Amino acid sequence: MFSPTALRPRYAKWLIATGLFLVLGGCVDKPNTLERVKEDGVLRVVTRNSPATYFQDRNGETGFEYELVKRFADDLGVELKIETADNLDDLFNQVGKPNGPVLAAAGLVSSEQRKKQVRFSHSYLEVTPQIIYRNGQSRPTDAGDLVGKKIMVLKGSTHAEQLAELKKKYPGIEYEESDAVEVVDLLRMVDEAQIDLTLVDSNEVAMNQVYFPNVRVAFDLGDASNQSWAVAAGEDNSLLNEINTYLDKVKKNGTLQRLKDRYYGHVDVLGYMGAYTFAQHLQQRLPKYEQHFKTYAKKEKVDWRLLAAVGYQESLWQAAVTSKTGVRGLMMLTQNTAQAMGVSNRLDPKQSIMGGAKYLAYMKEQLDESIQEPDRTWFALAAYNVGSGHLDDARKLTAKAGLNPDKWLDVKKILPRLSQKQWYSKTRYGYARGGEPVHFVANIRRYYDILTWVTQPQLEGNQVAEGNLHVPGVDKTKPSQETPPL
């Protein structure tokens, strides 16, 4: 038999070994946030449902924040899963919850209060808070004019924090915070005189004001702020560091600027009276030609709303117009272009739209393969306006200037040079009114944006509410001739 005394050393060694194993096992590091994201293969992001952040149209998910964060997910090699918060308080509460979103990408501005809940990334967009009022009402000029006004802002927003601070100096300021609205709702409420004033960021005003022709900017309230993404509070910097690296990269390589240009670079094209006129023509003129646009756009594999936007830019959807230069019809085709596209009567709207669709598709096909979407569409529109030869000249000048000849953002800076002798004298095709295609493309992009909004499917009745989509409508009320503030 074994002696108990003899067993003691062995037992002690076993206890030490077991304890050491347990201690070492307990010291194994848990995966950090970035590692978990990559292991799961999913980046969970919470955002707001609004035109400036994230929404869905018939082509799927879109929005400035969505596109920016989708590229981040692609960089990580993971799937993007978007969640929308009912309000800002809910959004901040969701960040970092177990199995919940690890990142908030929703046009957020840092504040001392918010820093207690989350940590913010490097900035990617500068915005200015602006007081909004209705055209025809007395225009506020400073904070003191807010006293006695009916004001509403988003609950939990930095704008609510601003007004709370302002109320200390002007106790008469009263305002309501609501979690039942989004920015487009606030602008609509001002437009319809349901409230006197609201406070929203400049980028959202610029993007949405065309849908609400009576909305005006009164004045900027405070200095510009920077929008950032947010991650959970704590000491795990793995995801935050990766985000900052990504945001720095897209700033440097031009991706961020191209997104800004796409969503915000053409928002002031129409102006107030232009917005009203377009709204009227949407109701009165487009229905007569809409089916033709759809038929021939489908045949030529272009977006019918883009084709319709070209038609509006060219003729305001009028079939029997002729310019001083001899171009005619709804799509304003030259005689040579009409013949090449098989159009025998340029004043026949059906033939004109058919010819315009074929010509736009042809312009797109002629472009170099190096030009990718969405730039390819903008280049095709520019060529539709100024001709492919002049566009090639501009691209060559762009390359000589050290810019990217395959990016519309760069080429549109150079196109106006084609009207300056020191530049066009060095080109193959010579002089051109180079500023025209820049305005042509900008206008069409704006018309296209509006058509995309107002032609989304299922926009009647309860279907909008059930889908939780905030879709701005086009106000039919004619605004007064008051000159909008610069």
Could you list the active site residues?
314
Helix (H) or strand (E) holding 177: strand 175-178
Residue linked to tokens 């990408």: 105
CA distance 282 to 187: 21
CA distance 158 to 180: 17
Helix (H) or strand (E) holding 80: strand 79-84
Write the CA distances from 478 to 213, 267, 443, 474, 482, integer angstroms. Answer: 8, 20, 21, 11, 12
CA distance 132 to 205: 9
Indicate the DSSP class of residue 411.
H
Query: Residues with Cβ < 8 Å from 467, sequence gap 6 or more?
Result: 56, 458
CA distance 420 to 180: 54
Q: Which long-range contacts (CB under 8 A, 24 or more apart) does 159-167 make?
A: 159/129, 159/199, 159/200, 161/111, 161/113, 162/129, 162/199, 162/221, 162/222, 163/199, 166/221
- 395, 405 in Cβ contact below 8 A? yes
Q: What is the DSSP string of 207-257?
A: HHGGG-TTEEEEEE-SS-EEEEEEEESSS--HHHHHHHHHHHHHHHHSHHH
In the numeric block, which tokens belong to residue 206?
Answer: 């610029």
Residue linked to tokens 């739209």: 353
CA distance 40 to 282: 47
Indicate the DSSP class of residue 330.
T
Residue linked to tokens 């010579």: 430
Write the CA distances from 12 to 1, 25, 315, integer angstroms. Answer: 19, 20, 95
Burial category of 9 from C-beta neighbours within 10 Å (exposed 0-12, middle 13-18, buried 19 and up): exposed
Query: Residues with Cβ < 8 Å from 175, sequence gap 6 or more?
Result: 151, 152, 153, 160, 163, 167
What is the β-pairing status of strands 118-127 and 175-178?
A: unpaired
Query: Residues with Cβ < 8 Å from 465, sequence gap 6 or more?
Result: none
